[in-house]
Amino acid sequence: VAWFAKFCLQSRAGSFTFNEKLPKKVEEDKKQKASAEAEEEEEKEEEKEEEEKTRRKNSKQKERSESAEEEQPSTSTQSNPSQKRKVQRPTHCLRFRKGEKDDIWTWPIYKTQLPVTCGDKEGILIRNKLAKGERCIAVQGRWFTPSGFEEFGGKKSSRKWKCSIRCSGTNLGELIQEGHLITSPDFKRRKSAQRALFPSNQSRVSITQSEEDDDDDKDEVEEEAEQEREEGEREEQAKTAEGGSNKGGSHGAVKKSVFKVTCENINGTLYKHRFASGLCGKSIRTDQRWMTPVEFVKGESALEDPSWKKDIQWDGKPLSLLIESKILVIHSLLCKCNLCSSTANDRHDQDNDDDCFICRSQGSLICCDKCPRSFHQRCHLPNVDDAILGDDFPWMCTFCVQRISQPWRYPKKITYQEALTCRISDHLLECQYLLLCLYQADEDYIFVKDPCINVRNYISVIKTPIWLDRVVEKLQQNLYQSVQHFESDVQLIFTNCATFNRDNAEFRGMGERLKDLFEREFKSTFSIQLQHSTASNSQ
């Protein structure tokens, strides 16, 4: 009406031009506006409803979680599976309560490998390689043994990789003790690299520092090895038999685990822990190799020979006596232990010693492919570097190289004086061989360490101290010009021993025996003419 009145007034004044579609357009605009407002109201109502639903849902979830916590049983009671609410959490985002240890070695993502550190070096430890006794720690494409990684991390002086290497603040020794890590009890490696006879980059490390890192856990390692070698039932039978024979007192040596045995003109040593039967278990060691009892009697024959029990003699008695007394227990035909295994790898592992030939301890060993000897890398002379490991060529120890090469190195005999005047650089092999013989013979390490440190008043009596470690160090530093300089230092060790131990027959006797060994091996090694030996020694 208002619009129509206004229209009439304007039309009378002649100032307005009438548009017939205008009233209809206005009406449509009003309808659209009203419709838009209605839709806006509906949207607001829907938003309010959604917010209300969300609030109710959150409230219900909160009530459920509170109810679940109230129904959660204590740790001392067994919970009902229906009351538990499974919650999926990422394995790498575990939460720890206050005071709880961050045991990352139990996380599923670290099932096959662990991050480890030693000093400022970081690496990845592969669990199954550690269990096999292989190089198991990777650092930027390089592989290390535990002891090698310890040296790489600057902790070489400690020689205890189980304490030096850590995972998340915990040393590997604790993880091994708690069962989180498994190590090989006989961390023995077969060397397959042909080294240069005298590497130029020899380590200056003293040979007595070659005591393996895990020697501090030697008892534990030997116990694990013994558990693998013998089944519980056989062990108990043997113990019972030993106890019975001791009571009778007829055999005083039944408690021994090593027996000197003979078969006609062949001598060997039988090790109880390696014995399985006549054909299984290479338990008899000669100077050349390990053999089964049947091989010891008949060479390479593969036929069972029952006579081995009486043909092999121990202390003048047949080996059957030890078997009847249950000192040696023959394994069952169904036995599945490593000694009875027919696989090539298990039989090949029995070809070498379980202990280092020099220091007589276990650990990570390298095996000679020509003889039964095994060594720690740092016990052998020259020291065996990690860089020459891994090739497919056979490796020979210094003992074998010396034995094989002597005929063509010394085609004819020489005099003692001629040997002394030889240049040391041309005869490193002979000097290293002689030192290894002395180290192996000095079982108590009397002549190995610096006596000034542990022997009271030594420096006041001996004006020029010398010891085997120092001789090795001087040899590796090229401080000797001739063989005579080397021989003089070694002889000085024995002279000092006799001087300081004038009133101690025991230690003086040790020095005399070692001196006799050195002089005998020196003459043999350099092919000395025996008729000139006395005159040369007097000079």
DSSP string, 338-387: TTT--SHHHHHHTTS-SS-TTT---SSEEE-SSSS-EE-TTTSSSPPPGG
Q: In angstroms, rounded to a whole number, what is the distance separating the alpha carbons of residues 322 and 316?
A: 12
Contact (Cβ atoms closer than 8 angstroms) between residue 273 and residue 226: yes
Contact (Cβ atoms closer than 8 angstroms) between residue 119 and residue 109: no
pLDDT per residue over 53-96, tens digit each?
Answer: 777 767 666 666 555 554 444 443 343 443 434 434 333 333 44
Q: How many helices (H) and strands (E) does the chain have?
A: 21, 15
Indicate if the pLDDT at residue 488 is higher than 90: yes
The most confident of the ranges 105-114, 272-281, 522-531 is: 272-281
Q: In angstroms, rounded to a whole number, what is the distance separating the alpha carbons of residues 508 and 499?
A: 9
Q: What angle do the packed helices 428-441 and 505-525 form, to 10 degrees?
A: 150
240-267 exposure pattern, b = at least 16 Cβ within 10 A, e = fewer: ebbeebeeeeebeebebeebebebeeee
Q: In angstroms, rounded to a whole number, what is the distance separating the alpha carbons of residues 185 and 217?
A: 11
Q: In angstroms, rounded to a whole number, what is the distance separating the alpha carbons of residues 270 and 261?
A: 7
pLDDT per residue over 173-211, tens digit each?
Answer: 888 877 788 776 544 455 433 333 333 333 333 344 444
Q: Which residues contact 187 (CB under 8 A, 6 or more apart)?
A: 133, 214, 362, 363, 364, 365
pLDDT per residue over 89-118, tens digit each?
Answer: 333 333 444 444 457 777 777 778 889 999
Average pLDDT over residues 25-46: 72
Indicate the range of 118-122, 218-222, 504-508 predicted with least confidence: 218-222
Quote the pLDDT of residue 505: 92
Q: In angstroms, rounded to a whole number, what is the distance separating the alpha carbons of residues 371 and 368?
A: 6
For residue 113, CA distances in Å to 89, 101, 169, 389 come to 21, 19, 16, 23
Contact (Cβ atoms closer than 8 angstroms) between residue 353 and residue 155: no
Quote the pLDDT of residue 334: 87
Q: In angstroms, rounded to a whole number, what is the distance separating the alpha carbons of residues 326 and 242?
A: 7
Quote the pLDDT of residue 104: 74
For residue 129, CA distances in Å to 132, 160, 182, 183, 380 come to 5, 19, 10, 9, 24
Contact (Cβ atoms closer than 8 angstroms) between residue 354 and residue 362: yes
Give 45's pLDDT tier (boundaries 50, 70, 90): confident
Indicate the range of 58-67, 132-141, 269-278, 499-508 predicted with least confidence: 58-67
Q: In angstroms, rounded to a whole number, what is the distance separating the alpha carbons of residues 199 and 432?
A: 13
pTM: 0.55
Quote the pLDDT of residue 99: 44
Quote the pLDDT of residue 230: 46
pLDDT per residue over 313-345, tens digit each?
Answer: 988 889 999 999 889 999 988 888 888 988 888
Strand, coil or helix: what is 472?
helix
DSSP string, 263-322: ETTEEEEEEGGG---SSSS--EE-SS-EE-HHHHHHTT--S--TTHHHHSEETTEETHHH
Indicate if the pLDDT at residue 13 is higher than 60: no
Quote the pLDDT of residue 24: 59
**pLDDT over 70, % of the chain:** 68
Average pLDDT along the chain: 75
Quote the pLDDT of residue 284: 93
Indicate if the pLDDT at residue 283 is higher than 90: yes
**pLDDT over 90, % of the chain:** 30
Quote the pLDDT of residue 391: 65
Indicate the range of 24-28, 118-122, 414-418, 424-428 predicted with least confidence: 24-28
Give 353's pLDDT tier (boundaries 50, 70, 90): very high
269 versus 21: which is more confidently predicted?
A: 269
Tokens of 186: 């006989």
Quote the pLDDT of residue 465: 95
Average pLDDT over residues 386-400: 80
Quote the pLDDT of residue 96: 41
Quote the pLDDT of residue 358: 93
Q: What angle do the packed helices 483-500 and 468-476 form, to 10 degrees?
A: 160
34 versus 279: which is more confidently predicted?
A: 279
The most confident of the ranges 43-47, 274-278, 407-411, 512-516 is: 512-516
pLDDT per residue over 147-166, tens digit each?
Answer: 888 888 887 666 678 888 88
Average pLDDT over residues 135-142: 85
- Which residue type sits at 229? R
Indicate the range of 146-160, 393-407, 411-425 predicted with least confidence: 146-160
Indicate if the pLDDT at residue 11 is higher than 50: no
DSSP string, 182-246: ---SS-EEE------SS-TT-----GGGGS-GGGGGHHHHHHHHHHHHS-HHHHHHHHHHHHHHH
Q: Which residues contact 274 (CB under 8 A, 6 or more apart)?
A: 229, 281, 282, 283, 290, 339, 350
Quote the pLDDT of residue 208: 41
Quote the pLDDT of residue 333: 86
Please name each of the domains of the chain with its CATH number.
104-178 (3.10.390.10), 258-347 (3.10.390.10)
pLDDT per residue over 224-236, tens digit each?
Answer: 444 444 444 444 4
Quote the pLDDT of residue 62: 62
Q: Which of 137, 169, 133 is nearest to 152 (CA)?
A: 137
Quote the pLDDT of residue 269: 93
Indicate if the pLDDT at residue 265 is higher than 60: yes
